[in-house]
Each structure stands twice: as C-alpha cells, then as structure tokens.
Amino acid sequence: MEIRFCNVCLYPETKPDLHFNDYGKCSACIAASQKDEGIDWDQREKDFFEIINKFKLKDNEIGYDCLIPVSGGKDSTYQAYFMKHVCGMNPLCVCFETTKVTEIGQRNLDNISKMGIDVIHFKKNYNAYRSMVKEGFIRVGDEMWPNHIGIFTVPIMVAVKFNVPLIIWGENPQQEYGGPLESIEKNKLTREWLEEFGGLLGNRIQDMVGVEGLTSKDLTPYFYPSDGDLEKTGITSLFLGHYFFWDARKQLEIIKEHGFEVKEDGPVEGTYTNYENLDEQLVGLHDYLKFVKYGFGRATDHVCIDIRNKRLTREQGLELVRKYDGNYPHYAVNSFIEYSGMSKEEIDQIIDSYTNPVLFELNDDGSFARDEEGNLVRNYTIGG
C-alpha cells in the first residue's frame, strides 16, 4: 500500500483535512512557514490588544472581562497565565473536566487557581457523560467524543449565563495540525468551526438522544447555545494562536515557573513527550484509535511539530515515530475497562472494527496480523 507523506514533516495523506501542494508539502507545514515568514506578528499583536481593550474592565470596576476554557493542560494554563499576568485582564476560567483525570492533571488544574484566578469547575452528570463515552467509542471509535463537545459548549454556556462575551482559546488546531488553508485564516471559534473541525466525526449531540435512555434534558450542557443567545451576549471567541506565534515548548517553560508540573516518570502513553495530554487517563486509547483508523498517532503529531519548529530532523522524527506510534495502549485500555464496564474482548473487537484493512496486514483468516509485542503490522512505509 503506497501512502504519500509530506516531504517536510511526517504527516500521511490519510490525515483528515490535510492536503498537499504541488511540491509535496502538507498544509500544516505550509501554515508553519506562514507563521515564520508570511505573518506580520507585530500587527497581529496590535490587533489583539485593540480587540481585548474593548472588553477590559477599568480599574474601578469589578467583574470578569474574559473567559478561558481550561482543562489543566499546558495550553489552557498558558492562556490563563497570559491573560491574567501579561494582559492584565480579570479572567474567569471554566473547566469541563476530562473523562478520567490523572493525579497530575488534577494538581495542574488546582494550580490555575493558585495562579490567582477564579475557576468554575463543571462537575458533569456522571451517568449521562459515561453513556456518551461508551456510545462514542462504539459508534465513532472515539471514547473522548463527548469531551470534544463539552469543552466547547460548557464554557460558552457559562459565558452566556455570566455575560462574559470575550472567550480566549489557544492554538487553532487547523493551523498547528494542518487543515484546509481557508480554515487557518479563521481567527474566531464559531459554532460553524466546531461542527466542521471539532473532531465530532459526523456525529452530533442530537444523535445521542435515546442512547441508554438519555433525554435532551440530560444532555442540556452539550447543546450549543442558540444563535440568539450568542448574539445577545456578543460572544467573541478568539484563538490566541492567531495573534501570537504559538510555541508550545517555550510556553511550557514559562508555566513551569508558575507551578505547572510535567510527568517525571516517562512519556505519556502513545508518544515520546511528557508534557502533553497529561490530564486524561484514557488519552492513549483515543490516540490508538486514531492510529488504527489513519495509520498515524500522537507521536507523529508531536514529531511533526518538533520538525516544523526545527527541533528535530525528519530522520530523527522517523525513529521516534517507529518507536512510539501505534503501540497498544495497555494503561488506557485498563482504565477504560474500569470506567466503562466493558470487557477487554469487547473493547478489542471495537478497535478492530475501526482498523483500516487497507493500511494494516491481515492474516489469511481475515484477522489483523500482530507482531511479538501485539502491535499491528503496517503494510505501508512510514515517511513514504
């Protein structure tokens, strides 16, 4: 099976929304070049402050002048730090907690309030959410599905209810991970953006009504606020990454000085880094599902970012991908067994149903071939 890879980084053509130019360079790399050369960051910074100054509270006022969705992860921690300590705003942070929070994730979440910021921690209906986690896993091969919705709808719902129109998001994933070029220009996170790029995999919240008896009422926080409410509040969602050069590693160093912890005992499952996706026990499963569907995992994502930021060569990246991409996520699967009540056989069967039979080797009996470590065998060459 011949798969085309980007000439610069290691993204394969199987990645949703990715495309290549005539020179074999992928849209993520093109966006990165624009970051380096094509963008007037001084102007963007000016634009940013011009916008937020319209919302900034005066010294003799109380209230919140911006809202930041946080997860306890490094990006949102940086956003919170930046808005409070650099821009001098008075943010309200809203956390839609992850599915199964890790200890370090919880500490990092607590740390945000220790940075001197109010945080609303939304403790969701455990049963409704769990039903959606299971259904998301079975129906679209993503146990994090309800999380993709919740992290968007809940902060916006709070923004509407608390009347805080300015919402600050982090990087534009389409910019960092390579979406259609038109989407990279989108500086605003709107409902349309969520539906197109939010990772919903074709499923919508309406489709969850009736699952394990769920009613629309049970799913209240997951329905996007109405267009009317958004307009009335004047919701303005900005991607910080559109206005400032996004450098995750640099930002990490800054927040480490403000209490952010990284994983000291080894990389996060599915990749080689120890500072990304720290907060979710199940992230390895989500990433593995991505791998079986498209042939690349989280390690590839991180390698590509490091290649674009000139911290790795393509060859060095290749080695890391070979070592870390696509390894069966034992830790996450065990956590998922505990959380969902499903058996390992059931879980593996579902994973198999999403494994692309064109990308991976099959045995004669139609089952997927595995190596001595129990991992799938690619029938394409990484890197092309």
Partner 1 sequence: MLKCRVIPVLTFNGFALVKTKKFARNARMVGNPVQAAKVYNARNVDELVFLDIYASDNNRKMNLQMARSIIKECFMPVALGGGINSIDDIHDLLAIGADKVVLKSKIIDEPEFLNEASNVFGNQCISIAIDAIKEGDGLYYLYNRKQKKILLQEFLWKIKGYSFGEIILTSVNNDGMMNGFDIELVKIVENIVTVPIVVSGGGGEPKHFKELFLETNIEAVGAASIFHFTRYTPRDLKLAIQEIGRAVRLVEKDFIPLN
Instruction: Specify whether the CB–CB gap between 12 and 3 falls below 8 A.
Output: yes
Q: Based on the shown chain and the rule CB under 8 A, indicate whether residue 357 belongs to the binding site for partner 1.
A: yes
Work out how close the CB of 322 gets to partner 1 at its nearest, in angstroms, rounded to a whole number: 21
Total residues in contact with partner 1, by rule CB under 8 A: 39
Instruction: Specify whether the CB–CB gap between 236 and 188 falls below 8 A.
Output: yes
Instruction: Specify whether the CB–CB gap between 314 and 8 falls below 8 A.
Output: yes
Stretch that binds partner 1, among 31-39, 150-158, 257-265, 356-364 (CB under 8 A): 356-364
Q: Based on the shown chain and the rule CB under 8 A, indicate whether residue 203 belongs to the binding site for partner 1.
A: yes
Question: Could you say which of 118, 223, 348, 349 contacts partner 1 (CB under 8 A)?
Answer: 223
Work out how close the CB of 17 gets to partner 1 at its nearest, in angstroms, rounded to a whole number: 6
Question: Could you say which of 354, 361, 383, 384 contacts partner 1 (CB under 8 A)?
Answer: 354
**Burial of 299 from C-beta contacts in 10 A (0-12 / 13-18 / 19+):** buried
Cα–Cα–Cα angle for 337, 338, 343, nearest 5°?
30
Cα–Cα dist 351/289, whole Å: 7
Work out how close the CB of 209 gets to partner 1 at its nearest, in angstroms, rounded to a whole number: 5
Work out how close the CB of 30 gets to partner 1 at its nearest, in angstroms, rounded to a whole number: 14
Q: Using only the alpha carbons of the chain, give its radius of gyration.
A: 21
CB nearer to partner 1: pick between 244 and 380: 380
157 φ, ψ (degrees, to nearest 5): -60, -45
Strand, coil or helix: 312: coil
Residues in 89-148 at the binding interface with partner 1, rule: CB under 8 A: 138-141
Stretch that binds partner 1, among 7-15, 32-40, 74-82, 316-324 (CB under 8 A): 7-15
Q: Based on the shown chain and the rule CB under 8 A, indicate whether residue 192 belongs to the binding site for partner 1.
A: yes
Can you read off the two tokens belonging to residue 359?
A: 């990308």
List, in order, residues 6 or more apart from 33 with CB less than 8 Å away.
none
Q: Based on the shown chain and the rule CB under 8 A, indicate whether residue 359 belongs to the binding site for partner 1.
A: yes
DSSP conformation letters of 337-368: HHHH---HHHHHHHHHHHS-TTTB-B-TTSSB
Stretch that binds partner 1, among 16-24, 165-173, 260-268, 311-319 (CB under 8 A): 16-24
Question: Could you say which of 115, 180, 309, 370 contacts partner 1 (CB under 8 A)?
Answer: 180
Work out how close the CB of 289 gets to partner 1 at its nearest, in angstroms, rounded to a whole number: 9
Closest alpha carbon to 321 in 4, 6, 10, 7? 10
Largest CA distance in the chain: 75
CB nearer to partner 1: pick between 84 and 293: 293
Q: Based on the shown chain and the rule CB under 8 A, indicate whether residue 7 belongs to the binding site for partner 1.
A: no
Binding-site ranges for partner 1 (CB under 8 A) = 1, 13-19, 138-141, 180, 191-192, 195-196, 201-204, 206-207, 209-210, 215-216, 223-224, 293-294, 353-354, 356-359, 362, 366
